Protein backbone atom coordinates (compact mmCIF):
# COMPACT_ATOMS: atom_id res chain seq x y z
CA UNK A 1 0.00 0.00 0.00
CA UNK A 2 2.70 2.49 1.07
CA UNK A 3 4.93 1.86 -1.95
CA UNK A 4 1.94 2.35 -4.28
CA UNK A 5 1.59 5.90 -3.00
CA UNK A 6 5.26 6.88 -3.41
CA UNK A 7 5.97 8.75 -6.67
CA UNK A 8 7.16 6.42 -9.43
CA UNK A 9 10.91 6.04 -9.77
CA UNK A 10 11.72 7.78 -6.48
CA UNK A 11 13.30 6.11 -3.47
CA UNK A 12 12.09 6.69 0.09
CA UNK A 13 13.17 5.25 3.46
CA UNK A 14 11.41 2.17 4.88
CA UNK A 15 7.88 2.59 6.20
CA UNK A 16 8.98 1.56 9.72
CA UNK A 17 11.72 4.18 9.89
CA UNK A 18 9.40 6.84 8.49
CA UNK A 19 6.56 6.24 10.89
CA UNK A 20 8.95 5.95 13.85
CA UNK A 21 10.08 9.49 13.04
CA UNK A 22 6.47 10.63 12.66
CA UNK A 23 5.62 9.06 16.04
CA UNK A 24 8.48 10.92 17.77
CA UNK A 25 7.38 14.26 16.33
CA UNK A 26 3.76 13.25 17.00
CA UNK A 27 4.56 13.03 20.73
CA UNK A 28 5.57 16.71 20.63
CA UNK A 29 2.32 17.48 18.80
CA UNK A 30 0.33 15.75 21.56
CA UNK A 31 2.17 17.82 24.20
CA UNK A 32 1.23 20.96 22.29
CA UNK A 33 -2.37 19.84 21.86
CA UNK A 34 -2.61 19.24 25.64
CA UNK A 35 -1.38 22.81 26.29
CA UNK A 36 -3.74 24.14 23.62
CA UNK A 37 -6.71 22.42 25.26
CA UNK A 38 -5.67 23.85 28.63
CA UNK A 39 -5.74 27.35 27.14
CA UNK A 40 -9.08 26.79 25.42
CA UNK A 41 -10.74 25.15 28.41
CA UNK A 42 -9.23 27.20 31.27
CA UNK A 43 -8.57 30.44 29.42
CA UNK A 44 -5.69 32.85 28.89
CA UNK A 45 -4.77 32.65 32.58
CA UNK A 46 -2.62 29.72 31.41
CA UNK A 47 -0.25 32.26 29.87
CA UNK A 48 2.10 34.80 31.42
CA UNK A 49 0.57 37.60 29.37
CA UNK A 50 -0.55 40.60 31.41
CA UNK A 51 -1.51 44.27 31.04
CA UNK A 52 1.99 45.04 29.73
CA UNK A 53 2.07 42.09 27.36
CA UNK A 54 -1.12 41.92 25.33
CA UNK A 55 1.23 40.90 22.51
CA UNK A 56 3.66 38.20 23.62
CA UNK A 57 5.34 34.99 22.48
CA UNK A 58 2.45 33.94 20.23
CA UNK A 59 2.39 37.21 18.30
CA UNK A 60 6.17 37.06 17.87
CA UNK A 61 5.80 33.48 16.59
CA UNK A 62 3.05 34.63 14.23
CA UNK A 63 5.07 37.49 12.81
CA UNK A 64 8.17 35.29 12.59
CA UNK A 65 6.57 32.40 10.71
CA UNK A 66 4.65 34.76 8.44
CA UNK A 67 7.93 36.45 7.48
CA UNK A 68 9.63 33.07 6.96
CA UNK A 69 6.62 31.83 4.99
CA UNK A 70 7.02 34.83 2.69
CA UNK A 71 9.13 32.60 0.44
CA UNK A 72 5.92 31.20 -1.05
CA UNK A 73 4.48 34.50 -2.26
CA UNK A 74 7.80 35.93 -3.41
CA UNK A 75 8.94 32.78 -5.23
CA UNK A 76 5.46 32.57 -6.80
CA UNK A 77 5.73 36.22 -7.81
CA UNK A 78 9.16 35.61 -9.38
CA UNK A 79 8.03 32.41 -11.12
CA UNK A 80 4.57 33.40 -12.42
CA UNK A 81 4.69 37.20 -12.72
CA UNK A 82 8.35 38.02 -13.41
CA UNK A 83 8.86 34.79 -15.38
CA UNK A 84 11.89 33.24 -13.67
CA UNK A 85 11.21 29.82 -15.17
CA UNK A 86 14.04 27.98 -13.35
CA UNK A 87 12.18 28.52 -10.08
CA UNK A 88 9.55 25.96 -11.17
CA UNK A 89 11.94 23.44 -9.64
CA UNK A 90 11.61 24.85 -6.13
CA UNK A 91 8.19 26.55 -6.20
CA UNK A 92 6.36 23.38 -5.04
CA UNK A 93 8.44 23.19 -1.90
CA UNK A 94 8.09 26.93 -1.31
CA UNK A 95 4.31 26.44 -1.45
CA UNK A 96 4.39 23.52 1.01
CA UNK A 97 6.57 25.55 3.41
CA UNK A 98 4.33 28.61 3.00
CA UNK A 99 1.24 26.49 3.59
CA UNK A 100 2.75 25.10 6.80
CA UNK A 101 3.81 28.57 8.00
CA UNK A 102 0.42 30.17 7.38
CA UNK A 103 -1.51 27.22 8.82
CA UNK A 104 0.70 27.57 11.90
CA UNK A 105 -0.01 31.28 12.11
CA UNK A 106 -3.75 30.63 11.92
CA UNK A 107 -3.55 27.97 14.61
CA UNK A 108 -1.59 30.22 16.96
CA UNK A 109 -4.06 33.06 16.40
CA UNK A 110 -6.89 30.62 17.09
CA UNK A 111 -5.30 29.95 20.48
CA UNK A 112 -4.35 33.58 21.15
CA UNK A 113 -7.81 35.07 20.62
CA UNK A 114 -9.04 33.17 23.65
CA UNK A 115 -12.50 32.64 22.16
CA UNK A 116 -11.92 31.10 18.72
CA UNK A 117 -15.67 30.59 18.27
CA UNK A 118 -15.88 34.36 17.85
CA UNK A 119 -13.08 34.43 15.27
CA UNK A 120 -15.56 35.37 12.53
CA UNK A 121 -16.41 38.63 14.31
CA UNK A 122 -13.38 40.31 12.74
CA UNK A 123 -14.88 39.73 9.28
CA UNK A 124 -18.47 40.65 10.05
CA UNK A 125 -17.99 43.34 12.71
CA UNK A 126 -14.82 44.69 11.11
CA UNK A 127 -13.08 47.75 12.53
CA UNK A 128 -12.19 49.36 9.21
CA UNK A 129 -9.69 51.75 10.83
CA UNK A 130 -7.44 48.97 12.13
CA UNK A 131 -4.33 47.62 10.42
CA UNK A 132 -4.98 44.32 12.21
CA UNK A 133 -8.32 44.02 10.39
CA UNK A 134 -6.43 44.23 7.12
CA UNK A 135 -4.00 41.61 8.44
CA UNK A 136 -6.86 39.29 9.35
CA UNK A 137 -8.51 39.72 5.93
CA UNK A 138 -5.34 39.25 3.91
CA UNK A 139 -3.97 36.46 6.11
CA UNK A 140 -7.04 34.27 5.80
CA UNK A 141 -7.51 35.01 2.09
CA UNK A 142 -3.85 34.27 1.41
CA UNK A 143 -4.10 31.04 3.38
CA UNK A 144 -6.96 30.17 1.03
CA UNK A 145 -4.64 30.90 -1.91
CA UNK A 146 -1.94 28.67 -0.41
CA UNK A 147 -4.48 25.85 0.01
CA UNK A 148 -5.38 26.32 -3.68
CA UNK A 149 -1.68 26.18 -4.59
CA UNK A 150 -1.18 23.06 -2.44
CA UNK A 151 -4.19 21.15 -3.84
CA UNK A 152 -2.64 20.47 -7.30
CA UNK A 153 0.39 18.98 -5.52
CA UNK A 154 -1.89 16.64 -3.57
CA UNK A 155 -3.71 15.72 -6.78
CA UNK A 156 -0.39 14.73 -8.33
CA UNK A 157 -0.10 11.82 -5.91
CA UNK A 158 0.35 8.65 -7.96
CA UNK A 159 -2.98 7.11 -6.95
CA UNK A 160 -5.09 10.28 -6.86
CA UNK A 161 -3.82 11.29 -10.30
CA UNK A 162 -5.33 8.08 -11.73
CA UNK A 163 -8.83 9.47 -11.16
CA UNK A 164 -9.66 11.45 -14.34
CA UNK A 165 -11.60 14.20 -12.55
CA UNK A 166 -8.75 14.89 -10.12
CA UNK A 167 -6.21 14.75 -12.94
CA UNK A 168 -8.22 17.31 -14.91
CA UNK A 169 -8.78 19.49 -11.86
CA UNK A 170 -5.06 19.58 -11.06
CA UNK A 171 -4.25 20.35 -14.70
CA UNK A 172 -6.79 23.21 -14.81
CA UNK A 173 -5.51 24.67 -11.56
CA UNK A 174 -1.96 24.62 -12.90
CA UNK A 175 -3.16 26.46 -16.02
CA UNK A 176 -4.49 29.47 -14.13
CA UNK A 177 -2.02 29.37 -11.24
CA UNK A 178 -0.62 32.75 -12.31
CA UNK A 179 -3.93 34.37 -11.33
CA UNK A 180 -3.82 32.78 -7.89
CA UNK A 181 -0.13 33.64 -7.50
CA UNK A 182 -0.81 37.29 -8.43
CA UNK A 183 -3.68 37.41 -5.92
CA UNK A 184 -1.38 35.87 -3.31
CA UNK A 185 1.34 38.45 -3.99
CA UNK A 186 -1.21 41.28 -3.70
CA UNK A 187 -2.57 39.92 -0.40
CA UNK A 188 0.91 39.24 0.98
CA UNK A 189 2.15 42.72 0.19
CA UNK A 190 -0.61 44.19 2.31
CA UNK A 191 -0.67 41.82 5.26
CA UNK A 192 3.12 41.67 5.62
CA UNK A 193 3.14 45.46 5.47
CA UNK A 194 0.27 45.94 7.88
CA UNK A 195 1.96 43.71 10.45
CA UNK A 196 4.84 46.20 10.39
CA UNK A 197 2.42 49.09 10.20
CA UNK A 198 0.87 48.04 13.52
CA UNK A 199 4.20 48.71 15.27
CA UNK A 200 4.87 51.91 13.35
CA UNK A 201 1.59 53.59 14.33
CA UNK A 202 1.99 52.97 18.08
CA UNK A 203 2.29 56.68 18.89
CA UNK A 204 2.47 55.96 22.61
CA UNK A 205 5.48 53.68 22.11
CA UNK A 206 8.56 55.71 21.10
CA UNK A 207 10.57 52.54 20.48
CA UNK A 208 8.23 51.45 17.67
CA UNK A 209 6.72 54.59 16.19
CA UNK A 210 7.97 55.76 12.79
CA UNK A 211 7.26 58.48 10.27
CA UNK A 212 6.05 57.34 6.88
CA UNK A 213 4.24 57.91 3.64
CA UNK A 214 0.55 58.94 3.84
CA UNK A 215 -1.08 56.49 6.29
CA UNK A 216 1.77 53.95 6.10
CA UNK A 217 4.72 54.18 8.51
CA UNK A 218 8.12 53.08 7.15
CA UNK A 219 7.78 49.82 9.08
CA UNK A 220 4.96 48.90 6.67
CA UNK A 221 7.40 48.84 3.74
CA UNK A 222 10.27 47.37 5.76
CA UNK A 223 8.18 44.37 6.82
CA UNK A 224 7.05 43.59 3.27
CA UNK A 225 10.59 44.06 1.98
CA UNK A 226 12.08 41.85 4.70
CA UNK A 227 9.52 39.09 4.09
CA UNK A 228 10.45 39.08 0.40
CA UNK A 229 14.15 39.02 1.33
CA UNK A 230 14.18 36.53 4.19
CA UNK A 231 11.27 34.26 3.15
CA UNK A 232 13.24 32.71 0.24
CA UNK A 233 16.13 32.17 2.68
CA UNK A 234 13.85 29.98 4.80
CA UNK A 235 12.81 28.07 1.68
CA UNK A 236 16.51 27.49 0.91
CA UNK A 237 17.20 26.60 4.55
CA UNK A 238 14.47 23.93 4.67
CA UNK A 239 15.45 22.62 1.24
CA UNK A 240 19.08 22.18 2.34
CA UNK A 241 17.94 20.61 5.61
CA UNK A 242 15.75 18.17 3.68
CA UNK A 243 18.71 17.31 1.45
CA UNK A 244 20.85 16.63 4.52
CA UNK A 245 18.20 14.45 6.17
CA UNK A 246 17.41 12.45 3.03
CA UNK A 247 21.03 12.31 1.88
CA UNK A 248 19.97 13.36 -1.62
CA UNK A 249 20.46 16.34 -3.90
CA UNK A 250 16.93 17.55 -4.63
CA UNK A 251 17.35 20.85 -6.47
CA UNK A 252 20.02 21.77 -9.02
CA UNK A 253 22.63 24.32 -7.99
CA UNK A 254 21.64 26.88 -10.66
CA UNK A 255 18.12 27.07 -9.14
CA UNK A 256 19.49 27.47 -5.60
CA UNK A 257 21.98 30.03 -6.87
CA UNK A 258 19.29 32.11 -8.60
CA UNK A 259 16.98 32.22 -5.58
CA UNK A 260 19.91 32.92 -3.23
CA UNK A 261 21.15 35.74 -5.47
CA UNK A 262 17.71 37.39 -5.59
CA UNK A 263 17.35 36.97 -1.81
CA UNK A 264 20.82 38.50 -1.40
CA UNK A 265 19.91 41.60 -3.41
CA UNK A 266 16.61 41.96 -1.59
CA UNK A 267 18.37 41.57 1.75
CA UNK A 268 21.20 43.93 0.85
CA UNK A 269 18.81 46.70 -0.20
CA UNK A 270 16.54 45.98 2.76
CA UNK A 271 19.35 46.23 5.27
CA UNK A 272 20.46 49.60 3.83
CA UNK A 273 16.88 50.86 4.20
CA UNK A 274 16.72 49.39 7.72
CA UNK A 275 19.96 51.13 8.74
CA UNK A 276 18.69 54.47 7.39
CA UNK A 277 15.38 53.93 9.21
CA UNK A 278 17.16 53.07 12.47
CA UNK A 279 19.54 56.04 12.15
CA UNK A 280 16.66 58.48 11.49
CA UNK A 281 14.61 57.03 14.35
CA UNK A 282 17.61 57.21 16.73
CA UNK A 283 18.61 60.78 15.83
CA UNK A 284 15.27 62.45 15.02
CA UNK A 285 12.16 60.46 16.00
CA UNK A 286 13.15 59.19 19.46
CA UNK A 287 14.70 62.52 20.63
CA UNK A 288 11.53 64.32 19.50
CA UNK A 289 9.63 62.09 21.97
CA UNK A 290 12.07 62.85 24.79
CA UNK A 291 14.26 59.75 24.59
CA UNK A 292 17.90 59.13 23.75
CA UNK A 293 18.94 56.17 21.65
CA UNK A 294 20.59 54.36 24.58
CA UNK A 295 17.43 54.66 26.71
CA UNK A 296 16.12 51.73 24.67
CA UNK A 297 19.18 49.56 25.26
CA UNK A 298 20.15 50.14 28.91
CA UNK A 299 18.92 49.79 32.49
CA UNK A 300 17.63 46.24 32.05
CA UNK A 301 19.02 42.73 32.21
CA UNK A 302 18.21 41.58 28.69
CA UNK A 303 17.80 44.23 25.99
CA UNK A 304 21.29 45.59 25.34
CA UNK A 305 22.82 47.05 22.18
CA UNK A 306 23.79 43.45 21.32
CA UNK A 307 20.29 42.78 20.04
CA UNK A 308 20.53 45.57 17.45
CA UNK A 309 23.94 44.34 16.32
CA UNK A 310 22.68 40.74 16.16
CA UNK A 311 19.72 41.80 14.03
CA UNK A 312 21.41 44.17 11.61
CA UNK A 313 25.00 42.92 11.37
CA UNK A 314 24.91 39.20 12.14
CA UNK A 315 21.43 38.51 10.76
CA UNK A 316 21.46 41.07 7.96
CA UNK A 317 24.73 42.45 6.61
CA UNK A 318 26.77 39.23 6.89
CA UNK A 319 24.21 36.91 5.19
CA UNK A 320 23.53 39.56 2.53
CA UNK A 321 27.26 39.81 1.71
CA UNK A 322 27.57 36.01 1.50
CA UNK A 323 24.51 35.70 -0.75
CA UNK A 324 25.66 38.54 -2.99
CA UNK A 325 29.00 36.84 -3.59
CA UNK A 326 29.12 34.11 -6.29
CA UNK A 327 31.74 32.27 -4.19
CA UNK A 328 29.51 32.39 -1.11
CA UNK A 329 26.55 31.01 -3.02
CA UNK A 330 28.52 28.19 -4.60
CA UNK A 331 29.94 27.00 -1.26
CA UNK A 332 27.22 24.90 0.38
CA UNK A 333 28.49 25.53 3.94
CA UNK A 334 28.66 29.30 3.43
CA UNK A 335 25.23 29.29 1.78
CA UNK A 336 23.67 27.28 4.60
CA UNK A 337 25.31 29.56 7.18
CA UNK A 338 23.99 32.64 5.36
CA UNK A 339 20.39 31.45 5.11
CA UNK A 340 20.47 30.25 8.74
CA UNK A 341 21.74 33.66 9.94
CA UNK A 342 19.15 35.39 7.78
CA UNK A 343 16.32 33.38 9.36
CA UNK A 344 17.66 34.21 12.84
CA UNK A 345 17.99 37.87 11.82
CA UNK A 346 14.36 38.25 10.74
CA UNK A 347 13.16 36.39 13.85
CA UNK A 348 15.15 38.85 16.01
CA UNK A 349 13.61 41.75 14.06
CA UNK A 350 10.11 40.47 14.73
CA UNK A 351 10.98 39.82 18.40
CA UNK A 352 12.23 43.38 18.80
CA UNK A 353 9.22 44.88 17.05
CA UNK A 354 6.80 42.93 19.25
CA UNK A 355 8.42 42.23 22.62
CA UNK A 356 11.03 44.94 23.11
CA UNK A 357 8.29 47.42 22.22
CA UNK A 358 6.22 46.05 25.10
CA UNK A 359 9.19 45.83 27.47
CA UNK A 360 10.42 49.41 27.20
CA UNK A 361 8.88 51.80 29.79
CA UNK A 362 7.07 54.83 28.41
CA UNK A 363 6.41 56.63 31.70
CA UNK A 364 9.20 58.18 33.78
CA UNK A 365 8.07 56.30 36.90
CA UNK A 366 8.04 52.88 35.21
CA UNK A 367 10.74 50.25 34.94
CA UNK A 368 11.36 47.80 32.11
CA UNK A 369 8.74 45.04 31.92
CA UNK A 370 10.44 41.71 31.32
CA UNK A 371 8.40 38.64 30.50
CA UNK A 372 9.00 34.89 30.49
CA UNK A 373 6.41 32.81 28.65
CA UNK A 374 4.58 30.00 30.47
CA UNK A 375 5.17 26.39 29.43
CA UNK A 376 1.73 26.39 27.83
CA UNK A 377 2.75 29.27 25.58
CA UNK A 378 6.00 27.52 24.68
CA UNK A 379 4.26 24.19 23.99
CA UNK A 380 1.59 25.77 21.81
CA UNK A 381 4.29 27.64 19.89
CA UNK A 382 6.25 24.43 19.29
CA UNK A 383 3.03 22.59 18.33
CA UNK A 384 2.75 24.03 14.80
CA UNK A 385 6.48 23.53 14.23
CA UNK A 386 6.09 19.81 15.00
CA UNK A 387 2.87 19.66 12.96
CA UNK A 388 4.68 21.37 10.09
CA UNK A 389 7.48 18.79 10.16
CA UNK A 390 4.86 16.03 9.79
CA UNK A 391 3.12 17.79 6.86
CA UNK A 392 6.46 18.35 5.12
CA UNK A 393 7.57 14.75 5.74
CA UNK A 394 4.29 13.32 4.38
CA UNK A 395 4.38 15.68 1.40
CA UNK A 396 7.94 14.72 0.55
CA UNK A 397 7.22 11.00 0.87
CA UNK A 398 4.02 10.83 -1.15
CA UNK A 399 4.06 13.78 -3.56
CA UNK A 400 6.37 14.66 -6.45
CA UNK A 401 7.56 17.88 -4.79
CA UNK A 402 10.96 18.12 -6.47
CA UNK A 403 10.77 17.87 -10.29
CA UNK A 404 14.56 17.33 -10.55
CA UNK A 405 14.84 14.62 -7.90
CA UNK A 406 14.73 11.68 -10.32
CA UNK A 407 17.35 13.20 -12.61
CA UNK A 408 19.65 14.10 -9.72
CA UNK A 409 19.32 10.66 -8.08
CA UNK A 410 19.29 8.07 -10.87
Partner 1 sequence: MLPFSFEWVWDLSHIVFMGGLHYALTIISLGMAYCILKAVVDTKQGKGGHHH
Please give the residue ranges that form the binding site for partner 1 (CB under 8 A). 123-126, 128-129, 133-134, 137-138, 141, 144-145, 148, 161-162, 164-165, 167-169, 171-173, 176, 179-180, 183, 186-187, 190
Residue 15 or 179 with smaller CB distance to partner 1: 179
Phi first, then psi: give them for residue 174, nearest 5 degrees.
-60, -40
- Parallel, antiparallel, or unpaired for β 212-213 and 216-217? antiparallel
Alpha-carbon span 303 to 313, nearest angstrom:
16
Q: Minimum distance between the CB of residue 141 and partner 1, rounded to whole angstroms?
A: 5
Residue 4 or 41 with smaller CB distance to partner 1: 4
Q: Minimum distance between the CB of residue 83 and partner 1, rounded to whole angstroms?
A: 20
Residue 126 or 309 with smaller CB distance to partner 1: 126
Q: Minimum distance between the CB of residue 153 and partner 1, rounded to whole angstroms?
A: 14
Q: Which residues contact 34 (CB under 8 A, 6 or more apart)?
A: 379
Residue 161 or 257 with smaller CB distance to partner 1: 161
Q: Minimum distance between the CB of residue 397 and partner 1, rounded to whole angstroms?
A: 21
Residue 105 or 229 with smaller CB distance to partner 1: 105
Q: Minimum distance between the CB of residue 55 and partner 1, rounded to whole angstroms?
A: 22
Residue 8 or 327 with smaller CB distance to partner 1: 8
Q: Minimum distance between the CB of residue 58 and partner 1, rounded to whole angstroms?
A: 24
**3-class SS letters over the chain:** CHHHHCCCCCCCCCHHHHHHHHHHHHHHHHHHHHHHHHHHHHCHHHCCCCCCCCCCHHHHHHHHHHHHCHHHHHHHHHHHHHCCHHHHHCHHHHHHHHHHHHHHHHHHHHHHCCCHHHCCHHHHCCCCCCHHHHHHHHHHHHHHHHHHHHHHHHHCCCCHHHCHHHHHHHHHHHHCHHHHHHHHHHHHHHHHHHHHHHHHCCCCCCCCCCCEECCEEHHHHHHHHHHHHHHHHHHHHHHHHHHHHHCCCCCCHHHHHHHHHHHHHHHHHHHHHHHHHHHHHHHHHHHHCCCCHHHHHCCCCCCCCHHHHHHHHHHHHHHHHHHHCHHHHHCHHHHHHHHHHHHHHHHHHHHHHHHHHHHCCCCCCCCCCCCCCCHHHHHHHHHHHHHHHHHHHHHHHHCCCCCCHHHHCC
Q: Minimum distance between the CB of residue 218 and partner 1, rounded to whole angstroms?
A: 21
Residue 237 or 398 with smaller CB distance to partner 1: 398
Q: Minimum distance between the CB of residue 162 and partner 1, rounded to whole angstroms?
A: 5
Long-range Cβ contacts of 203-207 (<8 Å, 24+ apart): 204/362, 205/357, 205/360, 205/362, 206/285, 206/286, 206/289, 206/290, 206/291, 206/360, 206/362, 207/286, 207/296, 207/356, 207/357, 207/360
Alpha-carbon span 367 to 14, nearest angstrom:
57
Residue 123 or 306 with smaller CB distance to partner 1: 123
Q: Minimum distance between the CB of residue 183 and partner 1, rounded to whole angstroms?
A: 5
Residue 58 or 142 with smaller CB distance to partner 1: 142
Q: Minimum distance between the CB of residue 190 and partner 1, rounded to whole angstroms?
A: 8
Residue 178 or 378 with smaller CB distance to partner 1: 178
Residue 161 or 295 with smaller CB distance to partner 1: 161
Q: Minimum distance between the CB of residue 137 and partner 1, rounded to whole angstroms?
A: 5
Amino acid sequence: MDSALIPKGLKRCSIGKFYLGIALVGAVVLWGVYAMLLVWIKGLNQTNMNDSYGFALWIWADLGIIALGGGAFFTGFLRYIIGKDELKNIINYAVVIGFVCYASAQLILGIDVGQPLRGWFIFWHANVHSMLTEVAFCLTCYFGVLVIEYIPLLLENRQIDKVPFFHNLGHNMHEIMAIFAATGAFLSFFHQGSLGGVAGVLYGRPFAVREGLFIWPWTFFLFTWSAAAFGPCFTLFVTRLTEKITGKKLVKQNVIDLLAKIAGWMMGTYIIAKIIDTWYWATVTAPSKGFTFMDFYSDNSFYGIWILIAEIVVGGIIPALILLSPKGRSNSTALFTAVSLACIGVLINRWVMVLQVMAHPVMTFENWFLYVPSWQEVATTILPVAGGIIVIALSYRYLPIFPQEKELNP
